[in-house]
Amino acid sequence: MVKDDIISFDKAGGRIVDINFYNKIRLDPDQKEMAYVNWFVPRNIFMKIVDAISIANKYEGKFKPIIKCFRFIQKPIFIFKKLLININLFYKKAGYTEPIEFVEKLKKINFHGLEIKVPLRSKEYLEYLYGSNWKTPKKNYHWYKDGSSTIIR
């Protein structure tokens, strides 16, 4: 298993909730400290296919009908995936960076009956991450490809 900076859980209705844990890093010795959250993503298209087939029974992605056809090899593919993870061939590191001031000062808000903490300058934070059009959902947005503050290692 890999150790990244996220805890995820499924909520009723199929929603996934992610809680991220940030670290302080300097991308360049001459730059100021940034907040960084580290995740692991499949290294390439082959690893993405292995990942999808390894969870074929639960897979709900774009290629669901195709992936479901491979349920009969799910278990050996899952074992293969674990082997690739153990020898550090499966994942590459990816994560968001943002100015530390966005995550240091927080405020409490009520979100659908749940009191949560969000960055004090929430709108600026969202604009930094997603651009000036952050209120408009992007149908095919991929955080690690399209995010302006993403680092892939």
Evaluate whether residue 100 is within a structural domain.
Answer: yes
Q: Would you state the pLDDT for residue 36?
A: 87
Of 20, 22, 7, 12, the C-alpha closest to 112 is 12
| 43 contacts 51 by C-beta, under 8 angstroms | no
Domain that holds residue 68: 44-88
Evaluate whether residue 82 is within a structural domain.
Answer: yes
| pLDDT tens digits, 130-144 | 888 888 888 877 776
100 and 33 in a single domain? The answer is: yes
Q: pLDDT above 70 covers what percent of the chain?
A: 95
53 and 71 in a single domain? The answer is: yes
| pLDDT tens digits, 48-97 | 999 999 999 989 888 999 999 999 999 999 999 999 999 999 999 888 78
Q: Give the global pTM.
A: 0.67
Evaluate whether residue 150 is within a structural domain.
Answer: no
Annotate 21-65 with DSSP letters as a single string: --EEE-SSTTSPPEEEEEEEEESSHHHHHHHHHHTTTT--STTHH
Q: If 0-12 CB within 10 Å is exposed, 13-18 middle and 19+ buried, where does residue 58 land?
A: exposed
Q: Which amino acid, one-letter code, is at 114?
A: L
Q: Would you state the pLDDT for residue 89?
A: 95
Domain count across the chain: 3
27 and 53 in a single domain? The answer is: no
Of 16, 36, 7, the C-alpha closest to 94 is 36
